Amino acid sequence: MAKEIFMPKLSSTMETGTLLQWFKEEGDSVEIGEPLFEIMTDKINIEVESYDEGILLKKYFGEDDQVPVNHVIGYIGIEGEDVPQEAPGVSGAETEEAAPAENPEPQLVAAGSAETAITDEKPRATPAARHLARTEGIELRDVQGSGPNGRVHKKDVTAHAESSPVEAKATPLARKVAAGEGVDLSAVQGSGANGKVVKQDVISAKRTTAPVAGTSARKKMSGMRKVIAERMVQSKQTAPHVTMTSEIDMTKVKELRASLLPVVEKQTGFRLSYTEILMKATAAALARHPEINVSLEGDEIVQHGHVHLGLAVAVADGLMVPVIKDVLAKGLAELTQDAKEISRRARENKLLPDQMKGSTFTISNVGMYAVDMFTPVINQPESAILGVGRMQDKPVAVNGALEIRPMMTLSLSFDHRVIDGAPAAAFLTELKDVLENPYELLV
Beta bridge partners of 362: 310, 385
The four Cα atoms 364, 370, 371, 372 give a dihedral, to 10 degrees, of 120
Spatial separation of the C-alpha atoms in residues 293 and 421, rounded to whole Å? 15
Spatial separation of the C-alpha atoms in residues 365 and 141, rounded to whole Å? 46
Spatial separation of the C-alpha atoms in residues 411 and 101, rounded to whole Å? 39
Quickly list H helices, 112-168. Answer: 127-136, 154-163
C-beta neighbour count of 25 within 10 angstroms? 9
Question: Is residue 420 flagged as an active site residue?
Answer: yes
3-class DSSP assignment, residue 348:
coil
Q: Could you write out the DSSP letters of every residue in 365-391?
A: E-TTSS-----PPP-TTBSEEEEEEEE
Can you say how many angstroms the Cα of residue 197 is from the centroid of all Cα atoms in its chain? 17
Q: Which of 306, 372, 420, 433 is catalytic?
A: 420
Spatial separation of the C-alpha atoms in residues 321 and 308, rounded to whole Å? 12
Say if CB 434 and CB 285 are below 8 A apart. Answer: yes
Question: Is residue 416 flagged as an active site residue?
Answer: yes
Is the alpha carbon torsion for 339, 343, 345, 346 positive or negative?
Answer: positive
Spatial separation of the C-alpha atoms in residues 11 and 358, rounded to whole Å? 12
Say if CB 178 and CB 185 are below 8 A apart. Answer: yes
Say if CB 356 and CB 321 are below 8 A apart. Answer: yes
Q: Which of 42, 142, 416, 433 is catalytic?
A: 416
Spatial separation of the C-alpha atoms in residues 43 and 65, rounded to whole Å? 15
Beta bridge partners of 415: 241
Kind plus residue range of the DSSP H or E element containing 337: helix 332-347
Quickly list H helices, 170-317. Answer: 172-181, 199-208, 223-238, 251-268, 274-288
Q: Which of 108, 107, 67, 65 is nearest to 90 (CA)?
A: 67
**Catalytic residue list:** 416, 420
